[in-house]
Amino acid sequence: MIGAKNEPFSNFNTKLRFRTKSSKQYDILPKHVKDSAFKFENNSKGIRSTPAGPHHFLLCIIISVAFYTVLAILEKSLPEPVTLANEHNHPDRFVAERARNHLVKLTSMGPRPVGSKENEILAVQLLLDEIKLIIEQADPSHKVEWDLQRVSGAFSLQFLDGMTNVYRNVQNIIVKIGPIKTSRHSLLINCHFDSVVDSPGASDDGASCAIMLELLRVISRLKIPLKNNIIFLFNGAEENMMQASHGFITQHKWASSIRAFINMEACGAGGKEILFQVGPNHPWLLEAYSDTVPYPLASSMAQEIFQSGIIPGDTDYRIFRDFGRVSGLDFAWSANGYVYHTKLDTVDKIPLGTFQRTGDNMLPLILKLVNSVQISDVEKYSTGNLVFFDFLGIFIVHWSEVLSDIINISVIIISLLVILYNASHTRVTGFSVKDYFKSCFKCSSLTVLIWLATLFTIAILSLTVVMLDRRLSWFAQPAWLLFLYITPTILVPMVLLVLFGRKFLWGKKGTHYPQSLMYCISRDGNQLLYIMILLLCVLLRIRSGFAVALFVTCNTISILLHNTILNNDYGYKVLWLHWGCMLVPFMLSAYMIQAALLLVVPIMGRSGSGNHAESVMSLITSAMFTLVFSFYNPLILLLQKVYTVFSSLAVVLLVSFLVLVFTPLGFPYSGDPNNLAPQRFMIAHVERSFYGYNGSLRDHQNGLWIVNLDVNSPQSIVRHVPELINARQISQDECNNELYCGLPYFIPVITFIWKTHWIDTKPLDVEIPLSLNLTYRDHRLHNVQRLSFSAIGPDHITFMLSLYDGIKLKDWSLSDGEPLKGPLWNGRPTYFVYYSCANDIIPWDFWIDIEVPKTHVGPQIEIGLSGHRMHGPNQYTPELKKLFNQLPQWTTTTGWASAYKSYTL
């Protein structure tokens, strides 16, 4: 406490104790101040207040952690699956085991990258066989059709560093089921059956396709005809930056009938599917979800976070929304993101209950949407967005943005009135309403300073962890976040509030103001700060403000109950009253934080070695818990022996650091099948050639390119792979001299993953055909030249272009519209083009128009061309196989062979 013998007050009916250098300091205070202070510390009924001991506060923390643990356990609960053996007891139900069997067949063929036999022939045939069987057994009340689409096209995509996407002959399997009497309105359900390199793609996204097959079977056997059509899209090129969905929504004959869609995705294996994007507009979509699904999990906060670009990912939702101008719902599994896009994404990682949960949610939702009046006249119901969230997976809470504004403004007004009431009923004589609000604003400023100090402290702690070479300890064991970063997030604000709060608010003249007044002002000042934050959410149309509004509301209720039921008792009762009032927002926040951590922690293992993951994760964690604990911090001012709380938390922090430094418990990775958290390695065997302006070969290299996906790569495996001793980091000079560092980037992520290594090796044992020929140069009007090219290579090619100073790119044949720029290179614009040909590979012919000033002499453009062999027997070279065989069991790998050629023209 400030200014007392470890307790803020005692023996209220007799005297008030102040800790001063001399008791005379209390005696020299003006009489009216002494009298008013005495009155302030005693309630009007003369009830004795018993100060809260430190054990009360520590017990609150322990119970809060227990609640969080229970919520984390409940998050894993799944419904009982329906099996083939008992499906006769569940007519018209989704059968999880049948869906799982579909997935077993699909993944048994191995990885399915675009262009591979597994994706373009085997997977297509498997799906078609299942679809035809379902159609044969369909009820006569339904009309069922199917189509196999092979499509080519191009589009710009403002994702990651920005790219132009060009595709040829990618495939879609489409099934339409509807009434016998044709309807002009359709609901689209989408999955993708292709996978990334080296991954069987069980969760991403084979499981969704398996679930869709079972949904199609159940719906096709219903006796009641549908009012409109359902189109099931099994798309074959999502991992190629969403090419197949673009080909469908822009070119297929059934696309024009689509009025809404459901997209099924995954960024983890199993768990619960979360609705993380809905709309734009069309609130009836969310209302249908709320009214029908038995196991809801949704949040508009998740949508705002995802669409902000903080999370490096995207789905076909963007394609349907932006190119099809259709609104819909986007679902994804997010649990166990450690196996996402790896060899470990197998069927056994997905619990059978996950299939059942998703199927039980999707079936009633699909039937509700397709039979709704809204889907037949979507424009009539298109206006508005909703604020929504689920409460612990039990039910959905949602309201319109207009109602959200009314609620938020009402909360602001009521909260301000309560603070005004507290200010006008201050019992300290000479302390006016103006003084009270002035002190509250000071306290708000203090809270902001404390937040900054807390984040600064957390940053120092994370840098210490980095210096001690103990990074990512929380990757395999997220509990380390509690000990290393959540504990100081609780500790630092309390220490600063106690040490500096009184002096910050009143300076020396207020040394003897009662501690309970300090508590009230600290509590109301904190409330005032969040009122301002809530007002900002209203003004900026931030729908996530519902979380702030909930905290402010419950805090207001706590204040009102304190003023009435407890009659301003400032003992231990107020601590438990406040904790109880804040239990609902705490549980909801803990629930959302748990979901966020499930998603974010695995992402830190694949977001690049240059992203300072330890600091990023520590600050994210601290910031999330700051909102929760800010409403508890003022309670520390009412405790006896407050330093007992400080010392307890400090001991936890210190012991945690000692355990982290001196034991192996902080090892960041795990190969345990029951607790997988592998370190990822993406390595390409590359042959790269650099040609000068005169066409001569100026450099030629062969080597293993190690794409460092986390901050411990590649030093974590040096003792397992002796060859890494010779690895060198790609230098800044190389990146300045060569476009995209002279490396075969598969997607445009150089601003995210720029720290990579290179090991010189023998040449590739199999030649990758790759060449770029300038077929002709045509001089056109206004200093414009047309350069026509023909590129030859494998089925995955990337083309990077940069213009010399003074040269302008006017147009090209690669896509419609203005060419999309990427990041600057040496102050010059760059352009990244990704090209894939799924079938019948032929030369890739295209042209570019550049404007060249008459005075320009010398090179005009710089080109980087990469060819990627991402499947087949020559995907792995002997050097890759040797390196992968040396890696420990707590790693997982992705590898391919690639050629890179640089041209100056």
Q: Provide the pLDDT confidence category of residue 226 given band limits of 50, 70 and 90.
A: very high
| pLDDT score, position 131 | 98
The catalytic position among 238, 273, 287, 862 is 238
| pLDDT score, position 518 | 86
Q: Hey, what are 134's tokens?
A: 């379902």
Tell me yes or no: is domain 87-150+171-384 CATH 3.40.630.10.
yes
Neighbouring-strand partners of residue 52:
639
| pLDDT score, position 75 | 80
Q: Residue 493 CA to chain centroid, in angstroms?
A: 28
| pLDDT score, position 571 | 81
Average pLDDT, integer, range 351-356: 96
Which of helix, strand or coil describes residue 95? Answer: coil
| pLDDT score, position 281 | 93
Least confident piece of the model among 416-430, 528-542, 854-868: 416-430
Report phi then psi at 669, rounded to 5.
Answer: -125, 160
| Distance (Å, whole) CA 726 – CA 186 | 59
For the stretch 405-419, pLDDT in tens is 999 999 999 999 999
Kindly report each contact of residues 854-857 with a partner whose C-beta sits within 8 Å and lies 24 or more positions away, as own/partner: 854/783, 856/804, 856/806, 856/807
| Distance (Å, whole) CA 582 – CA 588 | 10
3-state helix, strand, coil in the chain (%, to 5): 45, 20, 35
| Distance (Å, whole) CA 685 – CA 345 | 24
| Distance (Å, whole) CA 295 – CA 278 | 17
Q: Could you check whether the bond before residue 829 is cis, i.e. omega within 30 degrees of 0?
A: no
R_g of the chain computed on alpha carbons:
32
For the stretch 374-401, pLDDT in tens is 999 999 999 988 899 998 888 999 999 9
Of 435 and 511, the one with more pLDDT? 435
| Distance (Å, whole) CA 480 – CA 472 | 9
- Express as a percent the part of the chain with pLDDT over 90: 74
Average pLDDT, integer, range 567-594: 87
Average pLDDT, integer, range 20-32: 38
Judge contact between 95 and 209, C-beta under 8 A: no
Q: Which CA distances in Å does 822 have to 760, 772, 899?
A: 29, 21, 22
Judge contact between 572 and 53, C-beta under 8 A: yes
Least confident piece of the model among 111-115, 116-120, 517-521, 869-873: 517-521
**1, pLDDT greater than 70:** no
| Distance (Å, whole) CA 306 – CA 265 | 14
**Sequence-separated (6 or more) residues with CB below 8 Å from residue 114:** 120, 170, 194, 236, 237, 239, 240, 243, 795, 796, 836, 838
**2, pLDDT greater than 60:** no
Q: Which of 519, 486, 497, 487 is nearest to 449 (CA)?
A: 497
Q: In the 8-state DSSP scheme, what is residue 661?
A: H
Helices 583-603, 300-307: inter-axial angle, 10-degree rounding: 30
**535, pLDDT greater than 80:** yes
When the pLDDT of each residue in the chain is averaged and rounded to a whole number, the result is 90
238 is catalytic: yes
| Distance (Å, whole) CA 358 – CA 362 | 6
**20, pLDDT greater than 50:** no
For the stretch 647-674, pLDDT in tens is 999 999 999 999 999 999 999 999 999 8
For the stretch 298-328, pLDDT in tens is 988 888 887 776 676 789 999 999 999 999 9
Q: Which of 330, 338, 268 is nearest to 299 (CA)?
A: 330
| pLDDT score, position 44 | 38
- Express as a percent the part of the chain with pLDDT over 70: 93
| pLDDT score, position 60 | 87
Which of helix, strand or coil describes residue 284? Answer: helix
| pLDDT score, position 24 | 39
Domain with CATH 3.40.630.10 in the chain: 87-150+171-384
Judge contact between 173 and 148, C-beta under 8 A: yes
| Distance (Å, whole) CA 878 – CA 762 | 10
Q: Which of 805, 811, 810 is nearest to 824 (CA)?
A: 805
Q: In the 8-state DSSP scheme, what is residue 405?
A: H
| pLDDT score, position 459 | 96
| Distance (Å, whole) CA 273 – CA 638 | 44
Q: Hey, what are 709's tokens?
A: 């996906």
| Distance (Å, whole) CA 603 – CA 555 | 34
Average pLDDT, integer, range 191-216: 97
Residue 384 region by backbone torsions, left for phi larger than 0, else alpha for psi between -120 and 50, else beta: left
**49, pLDDT greater than 80:** no
User: If you write DSSP's letter for every residue of 230-277 in order, what string do you get?
Assistant: EEEEEES-STTTSHHHHHHHHH-TTGGGEEEEEEEEESSSSS-EEEEE
**33, pLDDT greater than 80:** no
Q: Which of 694, 679, 905 is nearest to 789 (CA)?
A: 905
Q: Which residues of 254-275 are buried (b: 16+ CB within 10 A; e: fewer)?
A: bbebbbbbbbbbbbbbbbbbbb
Judge contact between 173 and 209, C-beta under 8 A: no
Q: What totals of helices (H) and strands (E) does the chain contain, helices first?
A: 25, 21
Q: Provide the pLDDT confidence category of residue 599 given band limits of 50, 70 and 90.
A: confident
**759, pLDDT greater than 60:** yes
Half-sphere exposure at residue 478, Cβ-oriented, CA atoms within 13 angstroms? 22
| Distance (Å, whole) CA 426 – CA 220 | 71
| Distance (Å, whole) CA 18 – CA 753 | 58
Judge contact between 594 and 555, C-beta under 8 A: no
**597, pLDDT greater than 50:** yes
